[in-house]
Structures are given as structure tokens and as C-alpha cells.
């Protein structure tokens, strides 16, 4: 009697199986982020990145565009300053920060053209330069959609989905028993 484990075939099919499991995790994360969004624009501005195999790791992303970022981290004087990309944006006029803005309040811009948060070129007359505009343009409170979804996924769902995927894989199919006479 002999026992043989079909390692190469098992490894390939297990990888395919785990890629499907990670895709399921990505779907769950996407849906969880959407469930915490406060605006339809934020919900619609989420996309699922490719599921990829990089250096032996299976990766997947949920990508938020500008509306999703505004929804999640807020705007104006109500914005959440724990946004990891905020320090790169704050006071950086080359990337769209208003040079007349000395705090987080929404303020009028100096005269001239600028690129807004959505990447569109706009023109300011400069009439309200530096003035607090939050009586006209309401700041948004943050939904914390990404943060809440990440916390929920890390502490509950990901581990369960991973365990279920491993238990469901038919490892026994790759063990061959031969009877020799």
C-alpha cells in the first residue's frame, strides 16, 4: 500500500479557492463600507480593485473616490483630522489646498483658477477670499465608514470567512492511496 499527496495540483486549486474567498471578503468589506456611508454620492464613489497575488500574498482593495472620502472623513470644520491622507493635503496649495484657509473652515479662495477636490479646474473671483463660507456651504460630519467597516471586519468577519474557506476545501481529494500486490 502506498499514499501519495498530489501537492502541485492541491496547491494550485487551494490558491484558486482562497482567491475566491478573498473576493468574498472584499465584497463583504465593500458592502459594510457602503452601509456606513451617509450620502448616495459616497456610496456610488466606491470601487472594488482587482484581487491580485503579490509576492505570495492575496490582496484586494476597496477604493474610495473623492465623494467617498468626503463622506467618510467629513468636510470643513467638521472634518475628522485622523484622515491618514490629510497631512499630505493640508496647506499644500500645489494639491488643491486653499491658501486663504488658515483653519479647517470652508473659506473663500483668492482670485484666479484652482483645481478643486474633484480634480476640476475652477475660477474664483476672490470676492470672499479668506471669509468663512460655512453659513453658505454646510460642512459635513464624518461617517467614519472606512474606519467602522475595517474594525468590524478585523474583529469578526475576516477570521470567520478565512476559517470557513479552509474547512470547506477538499484536501482529501489530493490524497491517493494505492494498493500494491
Q: Is the dihedral of CA 79, 83, 89, 95 positive or negative?
A: negative
Range of the domain at 51: 1-74+141-181
Residue 109 and residue 167 in one domain: no
Reported as a single tens digit per residue, the pLDDT across 61-107 is 999 999 999 999 999 999 999 888 888 777 665 677 888 988 999 99
> How many domains does the chain contain in total?
2
How many residues are listed for the chain in this entry? 181
Burial class (CB in 10 A: 0-12, 13-18, 19+), 39: middle
Mind listing the pLDDT tens digit of every residue in the chain (181 residues)?
889 999 999 999 999 999 999 999 999 999 999 999 999 999 999 999 999 999 989 999 999 999 999 999 999 999 999 888 888 777 665 677 888 988 999 999 999 999 888 889 999 999 999 999 999 999 999 999 999 999 999 888 999 999 999 999 999 999 999 887 6
pTM: 0.85
Q: What is the pLDDT of residue 29?
A: 96
Residue 81 and residue 6 in one domain: no
Residue 7 and residue 66 in one domain: yes
Residue 147 and residue 135 in one domain: no
Residue 153 and residue 117 in one domain: no
Q: What is the pLDDT of residue 54?
A: 92
Amino acid at each position: 500500500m502506498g499514499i501519495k499527496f498530489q501537492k502541485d495540483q492541491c496547491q494550485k486549486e487551494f490558491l484558486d479557492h482562497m482567491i475566491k474567498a478573498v473576493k468574498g471578503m472584499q465584497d463583504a468589506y465593500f458592502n459594510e463600507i457602503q452601509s456606513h456611508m451617509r450620502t448616495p454620492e459616497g456610496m456610488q464613489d466606491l470601487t472594488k480593485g482587482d484581487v491580485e497575488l503579490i509576492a505570495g500574498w492575496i490582496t484586494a482593495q476597496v477604493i474610495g473616490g473623492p465623494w467617498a472620502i468626503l463622506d467618510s472623513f467629513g468636510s470643513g470644520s467638521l472634518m475628522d483630522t485622523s484622515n491618514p491622507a490629510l497631512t499630505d493635503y493640508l496647506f499644500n496649495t500645489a494639491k488643491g489646498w486653499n491658501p486663504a484657509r488658515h483653519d479647517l473652515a470652508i473659506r473663500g479662495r483668492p482670485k484666479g483658477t484652482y483645481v478643486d477636490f474633484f480634480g476640476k479646474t475652477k475660477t474664483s473671483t476672490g470676492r470672499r477670499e479668506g471669509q468663512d463660507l460655512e453659513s453658505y456651504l454646510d460642512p459635513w460630519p464624518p461617517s467614519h465608514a472606512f474606519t467602522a467597516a475595517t474594525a468590524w471586519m478585523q474583529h469578526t468577519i475576516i477570521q470567520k470567512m478565512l476559517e470557513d474557506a479552509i474547512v470547506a476545501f477538499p484536501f482529501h481529494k489530493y490524497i491517493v492511496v494505492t494498493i500494491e500486490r
